[in-house]
Structure 1
Amino acid sequence: MSTSGKWTSKFCLIAVFLLVAAMVQAQGNAAFSKISMGFVMGFPTGKTAKVYVNGYGASVKAEYNIASAINLTGSAGYMVFRYRDDVKKRLDYNGEETRANGVLPIKLGAKYYFAGIYYAAIEVGTANTLGDRISSSFSYGPTLGVYLPFSKSYGADLGLRYEGWKGSGGQVSFFGLRLAFAIGKNR
């Protein structure tokens, strides 16, 4: 990972913890039905980091409350990963396509809220590559996060997850940071 990538990752984690510390006074149970839309950043890990620098995209997530602290989730998004410069040069030299194809992850899962606003979640589904090289991979992602309410109907959802896409062409793995705006009615 490049030096700037390490600093970006550290900055994002520090920002997450400062935001959580500033908002920790917000109490109440965040386990209620809501929908959120947000921005996603991906920081490749393992072998994936040897091919890609970072990823970015957007996602929509719906939550349906089934118990006092548990929500079922469904999400869809769009992500693109940027090739590392050395990989892009090698692909160019060999006459291969260097334009990154987008990926459409679609997942179902569950969120467990603890201490009111904090949550742990797990989602599984499929990650579908779009463009020239259409393929489908098994997708999984455990998440830790916080829901920061602005009012009874609006809030921010901030989550840090590890995500993997495993298919016949190999595996892509990354840490994902999602910052989303949520709408839903807290009882």
Structure 2
Amino acid sequence: MNFFGKRNQFLKVQDLTYIPAKAGLKYQLGESFYAEGQLGAALPLNNGQKTLFVWSPGIGNQFKLSGQNKLDLGIRYEAWTGKNEFSDLNKINTKGFVGIRFAYMFGL
């Protein structure tokens, strides 16, 4: 996963490149509605970056289509937490983003 840095005549922030390694659970709350959670680490690919803790809660719904096929629609919040090297206090910082998932599930 790559987060692009800023570059202009006054500022040059390097790109942040990580490989997320996560494990999670999905719990069916109803016939088609579910909640899920993932935990793991974001492993840095650039020198000078630190490994970050990753956590991600989400919800979704599976819609039945023809036969055994389904459409899976989900939304989740993913946060990456770690120490900020650029702060004077060297405090723990969290950055997050929201992801939307559209998946077609083949009923084999």
Aligned to 1:128: 43
What displacement does 1:183 show?
A: 4.4
Greater relative contact order (CA < 8 Å, ≥ 6 in sequence):
1
Match of 1:29 in 2: none
Residue identity (%): 28
Distance, in Å, in 2 between the alignment partners of 1:181 and 1:131 is 34
- Measured after TM superposition, the shift of residue 144 of structure 1 is 0.9
Segments of 4+ in structure 1 off by > 3 A? 131-134, 181-185
- Alignment size in residue pairs: 99
| Residue matched to 2:10 | 93
Q: Aligned to 1:178, which of 80, 96, 101? A: 101
Stretches of structure 1 lacking an aligned partner (at least 5 in a row):
1-78
Structure-1 separation of matches of 2:35 and 2:59: 5
Alignment gaps of 5+ in structure 2: 85-92
Does the Cα contact within 8 Å between 2:17 and 2:46 map onto a contact in 1?
Answer: yes
Cα deviation per residue 1:2-55 (whole Å; 9 max; x = unaligned)? Answer: xxxxxxxxxxxxxxxxxxxxxxxxxxxxxxxxxxxxxxxxxxxxxxxxxxxxxx
Aligned residue among 73, 77, 82 for 1:167: 82
The whole-number CA distance in structure 2 between the counterparts of 1:145 and 1:157 is: 7
Give TM-score scaled by structure 1 length: 0.44
3-state SS, counterpart of residue 31 of structure 2? coil
Cα deviation digits, residues 58-109 of structure 1 (max 9, x gap): xxxxxxxxxxxxxxxxxxxxx33345xxx433xx534x354x3333222112
Structure number having the greater helix percentage: 1
What secondary structure sits across from 2:51 in the alignment?
Answer: strand
* TM score, norm. by length of structure 2: 0.69
Q: Any conservation in 1 of the 2:4–2:16 contact (CA below 8 Å)?
A: no
Structure with more of its chain in strand, by fraction? 2
Partner in structure 2 of residue 137 of structure 1: 52
Does the 8 Å contact 1:101/1:133 carry over to 2? no
Aligned CA-pair RMSD: 2.5
TM-aligned CA deviation for residue 139 of structure 1: 0.6
